[in-house]
Structure 1
């Protein structure tokens, strides 16, 4: 979840990144103003992606985004603007990065879950 101080900031993030599977939720705080999180609207039958090769084979593309995968990194690019897009680093499948990467994909309409290569190594 991406967290913002105001609902307007959260909505602006959704609009500026043209997220197609996102909603804003309120996070109540004790003795403080609430925070606002951006989460996927729904995730059904997410495909577990175990490595870069599997991710590349999915050839992910929808009406707004195209995923470009190199050997051990990649990009989620908006098809309608010249932004660089969202960089997928070599750490995409490690530790807490896999949760953030999963969220980045799901907010853009790709129903996948990035596997954690560190699971079970605790």
Structure 2
């Protein structure tokens, strides 16, 4: 998607503070962090939101979870939260599926 912010970041057209990258996933520091650790995990395949995910995405979505766990361990996070906002009413502002890896502080429930 030529106008998608995250597609452009993954393509190297827009600079980012990368934490991790491979052929399927990019992880970057969020530019507006809400926790001491706030990393965005972005699949490189353009999928607008979790609402668009189907069985063909099973392996990719599982892989994102594996990378989130790996990064949390590497960052020494004992507890962390992985969040996905799907749709504008849930707070999604960039319509390319992504997950927020949050850590470094205590979290409460319910979250919102």
Q: Normalising TM by the smaller chain, what interval?
A: under 0.3
Considering fraction of residues, name the structure with more helix. Answer: 2
TM-score by length of 2: 0.27
Instruction: Point out the structure with max Rg over C-alpha.
Output: 1
Q: Which has the higher contact order (CA 8 A, sep 6+)?
A: 2
